[in-house]
Structure formats: structure tokens, C-alpha cells
């Protein structure tokens, strides 16, 4: 689905190149027509906001949302309780899945970065993409609701992802939201327990790839942890 690639571009940090590509992004959304008119219009309002506002203001607003608090992090594994020991192996396996589909990861990005995940979904079979969107729907729903509470037009992107998923999210634990103006709470949210990567992170008696398998299994395990 080209729409997923368009949503990924809108969700990533807004660079000048992103702004230049907005007409093409709008064209993809309007011509592929996988989003209903209401949701397409909501994404269109975000596009318009990016078009008319000063780029520095757009970038500052983006950082304030997605980089300032852990509860709006665009890294999927940040939102799951008890993922510390499995996080490293899952990252490795997810990166391998991307490479198997010809998707190269930039050296400074992690495999669970949501725009990167959407890039991957844009090149797989549509039914598989919808299934995998369903596996992370508990996270995208939480992000949508938190962005709506903040009055952000970015909420439309996550609402679109929920609409494209093949099933609604079942109850699953995600990180609790914090008041964006409560700086002490924000600091506490970023106080991580030690996270291990590589072979040492695997559960005792298991290799890095054991129990992870394909992307669907990785995300299913993340959902049920």
C-alpha cells in the first residue's frame, strides 16, 4: 500500500524534503483511496498545517510531541511492559525481516521505529500489512488518544492506521501517559531499567532468534507480554 509509505513520511521528523513532497503525498492518499473520505480529510488537515506553517515551528512542535515524552515515542517497544530481556533479540529479528524484503535501515535508526515499520508494511502483501497493523493496534490506539488529548493534527495518522488494521486492539498493557507539562513525571518516564542487547539479552536456554520468527510473531509476543 503506497498509503502506508505516505503516512510514514508524514510521521517522520519533518525535513524540507518532506515539505516539498507534500503534494505527492496528498496525491497518493487521494488516488489510492484506501482511507475513507473522513480520515483522508483529517490527514489532509495535517498536510495543510505542514504546508502553511514555518518549518522551524513545525519541527519544534514535532520534537515537543514525539521526542519530549516517552509516552508518545514512535518506537513500538517503548510502549510494552516487561520487554527488557526480549527487546534485543526482537530488534535483531525485526531488522532481519526488513533486510529479507530489501529494506535497508539507516545506521542511526532502530527497527521498531514506527515510520520504518510502515515502510516495511508498504512493500508486503496487503493482507499481511493489515494483520501486522492489527498486532500493534493497542499501541497506535494509545498514541492516537494521547495526541487527541493534546489537540494535535498528528492524531489523524494513527487513526488511519487503526482503520487499516484487520482487527481492533484487544486490551494490552502499554506505558501510562503523563502530563506534558509535568517535567518531573517526564523525567521519571525516561528512567529506564537496564536493557540488554545481543546474545546476553536472550532468555536462559534460548538463542537470539528463538521464539521470535517472523515479524507477526515478534509483534504478537510484544502484544501479549
Residue 94 pLDDT greater than 60, yes or no? yes
What is the predicted pLDDT for the residue at 62?
Answer: 96
Q: Which domain holds residue 24?
A: 2-224
What is the predicted pLDDT for the residue at 175?
Answer: 54
What is the predicted pLDDT for the residue at 109?
Answer: 79
Give the tens place of pLDDT for each residue, 97-112: 888 877 777 667 788 8
Give the tens place of pLDDT for each residue, 60-82: 999 999 988 788 999 988 877 44
What is the predicted pLDDT for the residue at 180?
Answer: 53
What is the predicted pLDDT for the residue at 107?
Answer: 67
What is the predicted pLDDT for the residue at 103?
Answer: 78
Computed over every residue of the chain, the mean pLDDT equals: 78
Task: Give 73-89 as a 3 state SS string.
Answer: CCEHHHHCCCCHHHHHH
Count of structural domains, the chain: 1
Give the tens place of pLDDT for each residue, 157-181: 999 999 999 887 665 545 565 555 5
Confidence of residue 85 (pLDDT cuts 50, 70, 90): low
Amino acid at each position: 500500500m503506497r498509503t502506508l509509505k505516505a503516512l510514514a513520511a508524514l510521521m517522520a521528523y519533518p525535513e524540507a524534503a518532506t515539505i516539498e513532497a507534500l503534494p505527492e503525498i496528498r496525491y497518493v492518499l487521494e488516488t489510492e483511496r484506501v482511507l475513507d473520505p473522513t480520515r483522508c480529510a483529517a490527514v489532509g488537515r495535517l498536510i495543510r498545517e505542514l504546508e502553511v506553517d514555518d518549518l522551524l515551528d513545525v519541527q519544534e512542535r514535532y520534537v515537543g510531541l514525539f521526542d519530549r515524552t516517552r509516552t508518545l515515542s514512535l518506537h513500538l517497544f517503548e510502549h510494552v511492559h516487561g520487554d527488557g530481556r526480549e527487546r534485543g533479540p526482537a530488534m535483531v529479528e525485526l531488522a532481519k525481516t526488513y533486510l529479507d524484503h530489501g529494506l535497508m535501515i539507516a545506521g542511526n535508526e532502530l527497527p521498531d521505529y514506527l515510520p520504518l515499520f510502515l515502510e516495511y508494511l508498504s512493500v508486503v502483501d496487503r493482507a499481511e500489512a493489515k494483520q501486522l497493523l492489527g498486532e500493534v493496534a493497542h499501541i497506535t490506539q494509545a498514541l492516537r488518544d494521547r495526541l487527541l488529548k493534546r489537540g494535535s493534527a498528528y492524531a489523524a495518522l494513527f487513526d488511519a492506521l487503526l482503520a487499516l488494521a484487520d482487527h481492533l486492539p484487544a486490551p494490552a498493557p502499554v506505558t501510562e501517559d503523563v502530563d506534558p507539562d509535568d517535567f518531573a513525571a517526564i523525567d521519571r518516564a525516561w528512567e529506564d531499567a537496564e536493557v540488554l542487547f545481543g546474545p546476553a539479552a536472550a532468555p536462559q536456554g534460548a538463542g537470539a532468534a528463538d521464539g521470535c520468527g517472523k515479524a507477526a510473531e515478534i509483534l504478537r509476543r510484544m502484544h501479549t507480554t
